[in-house]
């Protein structure tokens, strides 16, 4: 029942995103004339597709990624192979990132094929069964085609941004040549920028739903997946707070959506916990996090995040695991 509700919510969010975009595209095309705006939309779409195609190479350079040979970690390859077979997807390439922040991500394009990367920090801070659950989550993204869906969803607000930005410059540079035209262009630019902001929030909401959906994949295809993934989330959140001293979080900012856990928001979600000398097990850490009371500020900040609040996410895993 919980999974059906999640799927329907995802479909509804996508429908709302497409519906709003189509409606406002039609209005703007009617007001401004279709040729120039249509040309801009085509250019933005082509630019984003090109970015998607070369993104794996950019990600590899930013995160210090290299392919992980099977001979160097056969157990990890076996886990990915087994879950891929159970999920009936082609096994992706297994990659290793030099980041010491515990995280993982799935990515790829038609030029490179699908890839799953784990960071050195993930292997250093988590037990093998917890890494298995994280990989189950990332393979869920590939199964659900989240790379393609989120790219499509992200294009829509980008179009409004470029429309608003170009019309704003046009109105400013137009000056006094035709005040009515420049004034109208500026008004539409303001509306377009507002729509960009609204649609960006919808896209972030969709991203959070896709994270929950990938979590259900780990629960379904990994033995005792709910417990393992809960412990992984708890450890990653608390470990992220200890690794703030590096400048690696600035690199992470570039592709936050694709990460297993946003280190900045995860750190904030558990910042009140600190360290407890009475905490003797991973399950106690999970219980301590899930017992944390969510405040209004937590709920508001989550709206502006690509990932669910860690407390809510672990609580949801309890329901998925039932």
Gap between the Cα atoms of 282 and 244, Å rounded: 22
Catalytic residue among 132, 138, 231, 302: 138
Known active-site residue 138:
yes
b/e string for 141-167 if b means 16 or more Cβ within 10 A?
bbbbebbebbbbbbbbbbbbbbbbebb
Helix (H) or strand (E) holding 97: strand 93-97
Smallest CA-to-CA distance from 163 within 52, 42, 266 is with: 42
Q: Is 224 left (phi over 0), alpha (psi -120 to 50) or beta?
A: left
At what angle are helices 179-221 and 296-303 packed, to 10 degrees? Answer: 110
Catalytic residues, by residue number, are 138
């Amino acid at each position: 029942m919980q999974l059906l509700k999640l799927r329907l919510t995802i479909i509804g969010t996508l429908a709302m995103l497409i519906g709003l975009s189509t409606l406002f595209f039609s209005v703007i095309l009617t007001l401004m004339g279709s040729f120039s705006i249509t040309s801009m939309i085509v250019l933005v779409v082509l630019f984003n597709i090109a970015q998607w195609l070369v993104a794996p190479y950019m990600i590899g350079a930013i995160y210090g990624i290299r392919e992980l040979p099977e001979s160097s970690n056969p157990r990890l390859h076996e886990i990915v192979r087994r879950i891929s077979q159970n999920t009936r997807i082609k096994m992706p390439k297994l990659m290793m990132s030099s980041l010491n922040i515990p995280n993982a991500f799935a990515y790829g394009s038609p030029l490179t094929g699908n890839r799953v990367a784990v960071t050195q920090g993930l292997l250093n801070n988590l037990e093998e069964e917890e890494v298995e659950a994280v990989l189950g989550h990332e393979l869920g993204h590939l199964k659900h085609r989240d790379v393609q869906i989120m790219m499509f969803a992200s294009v829509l607000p980008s179009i409004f941004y470029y429309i608003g930005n170009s019309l704003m410059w046009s109105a400013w540079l137009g000056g006094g040549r035709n005040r009515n035209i420049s004034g109208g262009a500026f008004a539409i630019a303001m509306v377009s920028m507002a729509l960009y902001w609204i649609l960006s929030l919808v896209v972030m909401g969709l991203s959070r739903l896709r994270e929950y959906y990938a979590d259900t994949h780990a629960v379904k295809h990994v033995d005792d997946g709910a417990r393992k993934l809960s412990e992984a989330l708890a450890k990653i959140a608390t470990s992220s707070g200890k690794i703030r001293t590096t400048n690696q979080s600035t690199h992470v900012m570039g592709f936050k959506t694709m990460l297993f856990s946003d280190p900045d928001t995860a750190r904030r979600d558990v910042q009140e916990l600190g360290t407890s000398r009475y905490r003797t097990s991973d399950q106690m850490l999970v219980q301590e996090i899930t017992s944390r009371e969510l405040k209004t500020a937590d709920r508001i900040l989550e709206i502006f995040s690509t990932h669910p609040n860690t407390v809510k996410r672990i609580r949801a895993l309890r329901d998925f695991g039932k």
